[in-house]
Amino acid sequence: MKGVRAVNARLFFRIEAMNATLATKKKHPSGHVGGHRGAKTKEKPAKLPHVRAREAVAKLPPARAAVEPPPARRSVSSPIVAAAVAPALLWFSGRTGSTWLSSLLAAHAEVRFHGEVLNPHNSGSDAATLGAWLDAQAASAAAAGQRVVGFKIRPWQLGARRNASVVDADDREAALSLLRRRGLRVICNCRGAFSQTVSRLRSQMLDRACGCRNLKTGDGSKCESCAALGATPLEPAPFVSKFRSTLASHRKLAAACVAEASRGTPVLWLPYEHLDGSRAAALGEVARFLGVSAGGWVAAATAGATQKVTDRNLSASVPNADALAAAVRAAGFDDDALEGGGAFACAADAAAQAKPAGKAGRARQKPP
């Protein structure tokens, strides 16, 4: 009996030892080991290399898709950079000299200026996209000693997401708020609606003839062969239709500029007529408005000749300009709507819109 008890005791302790060994290797989901809810392992045994490797791989972050943006990081637009590099918008409505002005601004050593890079057909300009773009551009501009970063866009497209046909009001305000916080300045580039309509129709003629909408000189492009479009009469009915849509865009632009100015944003009214007729003075105003040097830039910008789709004297481009003006009046538009030769026609139009409704507000006829 003593021998049997001794064997049983040895077997019991051996089984207990085996259970203890298994308990250190197998952990219960509840946190208790070995199935016993009391005792916990004091010291874990060393893990094998392949076990450590599996656990290390399991802890890695999941692979990101190629289209996923990089992880968020601290904005490169620090207060110092934001103070040194201010955003500028060139608001326009088409055929107002915006491409010409953009190229002049891009040639300024202190300005980093782009075309319609953020319109809905390209990247869009919602707050997230706009903020990332401004951060990158501001960092590059600051490194290059530039003080202004800008781009051109139609005001009703600002805040639009990529490929969006309609801009949500909240998205537009979010984009504007972002720009205002960074010291936004707006150049309101407009043009008298009558000459703007002539330019729109003649640019379409240029497009059909040569596949381009702006004339260029000295670059050997196919547009040079179209430099002599000559005086071409335009049909009154299509002209009135185009004038109606042009005037609507013109007033939409003016209203946006008035609204932004009312928020305290610095706004520079720059009609095409002023830029074309007094280039040196106009560019000097632009330089002062943006806070950059003017001398060398203005001199270089005014040195060369500029080929235009429409002559300053409209009759030289459209022989029946008087007949077109009569057709527009017959359609119910007044002389204010027809004005296109005055240097500040757009600013005056915007000021009239800003007046409260009443006799002064009704002085301008509403287009049909």
241 in a structural domain: yes
CB contact at 8 A, 336 and 347: no
203-207, 273-277, 347-351, 356-360: least confident range: 356-360
**Cα–Cα dist 292/295, whole Å:** 10
Q: What number is the average pLDDT over the span 235-251?
A: 94
Q: How many domains does the chain have?
A: 1
The burial of 44, by beta-carbon neighbours within 10 Å (0-12 exposed, 13-18 middle, 19 or more buried), is given as: exposed
Domain residue limits at 85: 79-354
pLDDT at 35 over 60: no
25 in a structural domain: no
pLDDT at 368 over 70: no
Per-residue pLDDT tens for 134-192?
999 999 999 999 999 999 999 999 999 999 989 999 999 999 999 999 999 999 999 98
302 in a structural domain: yes
20 in a structural domain: no
120 in a structural domain: yes
49 in a structural domain: no
137 in a structural domain: yes
pLDDT at 290 over 90: yes
CATH number for the domain spanning 220: value is 3.40.50
238 in a structural domain: yes
Backbone φ and ψ for 116, nearest 5 degrees, come out as -85, 50
Please tell me the predicted confidence (pLDDT) of residue 65.
Answer: 29
CB contact at 8 A, 269 and 192: no
